[in-house]
Amino acid sequence: MKVLIVDDEEMIRAVLREYIEFEGGETDEAQDGMEAVKKCRENQYDVILMDIMMPKLDGFSAVKEIRKFSDTPVIMLSARGEEYDKLFGFEIGSDDYVTKPFSPKEVIARIHAVMKRAGGGKKPRDMYEFEGLKIDKVGRNVYVDGERVELTPKEYELLFYFVENAGVALTRERLLNQVWGYDFYGDDRTVDTHVKMLRGNLKEYRKFIVTLRGLGYKFET
C-alpha cells in the first residue's frame, strides 16, 4: 500500500505518515499541488491524501490535472467544513473527503474503504509484454522474468521510446531529439552509453535492442 500525502503543513504530514507506516503502508509526500502532480507522473500510488488549500497549485486543480493521466483514488483533506467544498471535491474526481480536524484513525479507515472500493473494479493498465520482459508505463516499472529492475530516469524514457516505436529504425539523432529533447546539444555517443546500461539491465532481453550499424538502434522482438 503506497500513499501519497499532499499537504503544506509538515505537522499534518508527519501525523499521517506515522499512522500509515504503523499500519504497514508506504508513504511519499508532496508540499503542494505542483509537486503532487509531478510525483504522480513519476510514481504509482494506491491512494492520494490531498489537502485543498496549498501554495502554488490547490488541491482541486491538482486532482483535475492528475485525472488526466491517472485514476488513483483521492481523499480530500478539507480544512473548511463547508458543503461547497465537499460538493466540489466529488465533482472534480476525488473519491472521498475528510474534514479537518480529523482523527488519524478516521483517515486510515477511509483509506481502507477507498482502496477496497477501487480494488473491486480494477481497470486494465496498459502494459507491454515481450516474452519475459514486462513494462508498465503508467507505474514506471520494468520486470525481467518477474523480477523488478530499477532503471534510472533516462533509461526508463529511452526504453519507453523504444517500445512505443517497436520495429522502427531509430537514428541516434532521432533518439536524442525525442528522448533527450530538442534542446540537447551533446555527443552522439551518449545514446550508446545509455543503450549499454539499458541492455545491461534488461539481462537476456538485451537482444530486443538491435544495433543498426551506421544508423542507430531498433527495438524488435
Partner DNA sequence: TTTGTTTTTCAATACTGTTTCAAAATTAAG
Partner DNA sequence: CTTAATTTTGAAACAGTATTGAAAAACAAA
Binding residues for DNA (CB under 7 A): 150, 152-155, 180, 184, 186-187, 189-190, 192-197, 199, 211-217
Q: Nearer to a second copy by C-beta: 56 or 134?
A: 56
Q: Nearer to a second copy by C-beta: 206 or 218?
A: 218
145: left (phi over 0), alpha (psi -120 to 50) or beta: left
d(CA 124, CA 114): 18
Q: At closest approach, how far in Å is the CB of 2 from DNA?
A: 16
Q: Quick one: what does residue 106 bind among DNA, a second copy, none, with the CB cut-off 5 to 8 Å set by partner type?
A: a second copy
Q: Quick one: what does residue 186 bind among a second copy, DNA, none, with the CB cut-off 5 to 8 Å set by partner type?
A: DNA
Distances (CA, A) of 179 to 3, 14, 205: 29, 37, 21
Q: Decide: is 90 part of the binding site for a second copy (CB under 8 A).
A: yes
Q: Decide: is 127 part of the binding site for a second copy (CB under 8 A).
A: no
- Which set of grid coordinates corresponds to residue 99? 474534514
- Which set of grid coordinates corresponds to residue 142? 520494468
Phi, psi values for residue 154, rounded to 5°: -65, -35
Q: Which of 101, 153, 186, 189 binds a second copy (CB under 8 A)?
A: 153
d(CA 57, CA 36): 9
Q: At closest approach, how far in Å is the CB of 11 from DNA?
A: 18
DSSP letter, residue 208: G
**Cβ pair 140, 40 in contact under 8 A:** no
Q: Hey, which residues between 30 and 49 contact a second copy (CB under 8 A)?
A: none
d(CA 151, CA 122): 26
Q: Which of 26, 119, 152, 173 binds a second copy (CB under 8 A)?
A: 152
Residues at the contact surface with a second copy, assessed by CB under 8 A: 56-58, 61, 64-65, 83, 86-87, 90-91, 103, 105-106, 108-109, 112, 138-140, 152-154, 167-169, 178, 181-183, 212-215, 218, 220
